[in-house]
Amino acid sequence: MSAAAGLTRRVWQQGRYETAAMLRNGEQLTLMIVLPILALVGLTVTPVLDGLGPSRIAVAAPGVLALCTMSVGFTGQGIATGFDRRYGVLRFLSTTPLGRGGLIAGKVLAVLVVLAVQVVVIGGVALTLGWRPGALGVLLGLPLLALGAAAFTALGLLIAGTARPEATLAVTNLVWILLGVLGGIVLPVQRVPAALAPVVGFLPSGALGDAVRSAFLEGSLNVPAAAVLLTWTVLAGAAATRWFRWS
C-alpha cells in the first residue's frame, strides 16, 4: 500500500469516528439542527427580512444553511476537539501515523458529512415553508457551503488546539453568537448596525452569508465574497496545522 493510500484510509477512518461522535451528541444536535430550524421559522414569520428578496424564506434559508455550517464546523468541532485534548485523546492520536494534517482532514470530512445531513433536514423544512431554489443556485451554493465548512473547521481547530478547553468553550460560543447576530451570516449587511457594515464582508461569516445568498437568490457567484472565504480557509488551515498542540 502506498503512503498516499495509507493516509487516505486513516483520514477516512478518523472522519467516520468524528461523524459518529457528533451525531450521537445530543447537545451538538441541538446546536446543529434544532436552533437553525427555530431561526428559520422565526425569520419566516417575522418582518426582519422584508424587502431583501422575493420572499422571507428565500432570504432566510441560505443564511440559516450558512449558520449550520458555522455551527458544525466552528462551535461543534472546536468544543469537541478542545475536550479531546484535555482527556488525552489527541495525545494518543499523536502517536499514530495520522499526523496533524490527517487529523484536520478527518475532522473536515466529518463536518462535510454532518453538513450534508443538515442541508437535507434544514433544506427540507425550508421547502415546506415555500423555499424554491433554482438549480443553478443549488449547484453554486453547495460548494460554497463546503468551502465555508472548511474555513470554520480550521478556525475552530485553531482555537481548540491553542487554548485551554474552558477558554475554547467560552470563545467558540461567544463568537458563534456574535457572528450569528452581527456577522452577516444570517442577517444580510443591510440589517447589521451601520458601524459594522464596512467590516462584515471581510469576516468569514459575512463572506459565507453573502456568497450563499448570491448563489441561491440570484444564481450567481459572488467572486469577492468567495475570494474572502477562500483566503480565510487557506490562512486558518495553515495556522491550525502549524500551531495545533496535541496536549
Type and span of the H or E element at 205: helix 204-213
Tell which residue, 183, 156, 148, 187, has the closest CA to residue 64: 187
pLDDT of residue 29: 74
pLDDT given for residue 14 in this prediction: 82
Rounded Cα gap, residues 105 and 145, in angstroms: 17
pTM here is: 0.89
Q: Would you write out the chain's pLDDT as a tens digit for each of its 247 residues? A: 466 667 788 888 888 888 887 877 767 777 788 889 999 999 999 999 998 989 999 999 999 999 999 988 898 888 888 887 877 777 777 677 777 777 778 877 888 888 899 999 999 999 999 999 999 999 999 999 999 988 998 899 899 888 888 888 888 889 988 998 899 999 998 888 888 889 999 999 999 999 999 999 999 999 999 999 999 999 998 998 888 877 7
Please give the C-alpha separations between residue 224 and each of 25, 91, 120, 211, 212, in angstroms, as whole numbers. 36, 40, 28, 9, 12
Question: C-alpha grid cell for residue 232?
Answer: 480565510
Residue 32 per-residue DSSP state? I
146, 111 contact by CB (below 8 A): no
The reported pLDDT for the residue numbered 42 is: 94
pLDDT, position 130: 94
Q: What is each CA distance from 213 to 68, 87, 94, 193, in whole angstroms?
A: 14, 40, 40, 19
pLDDT of 156-172, one tens digit each?
989 988 888 888 888 88
DSSP 83-111: HHHHTTHHHHHTTSTTHHHHHHHHHHHHH
Q: What integer pLDDT is reported at residue 121 of this predicted model?
A: 94
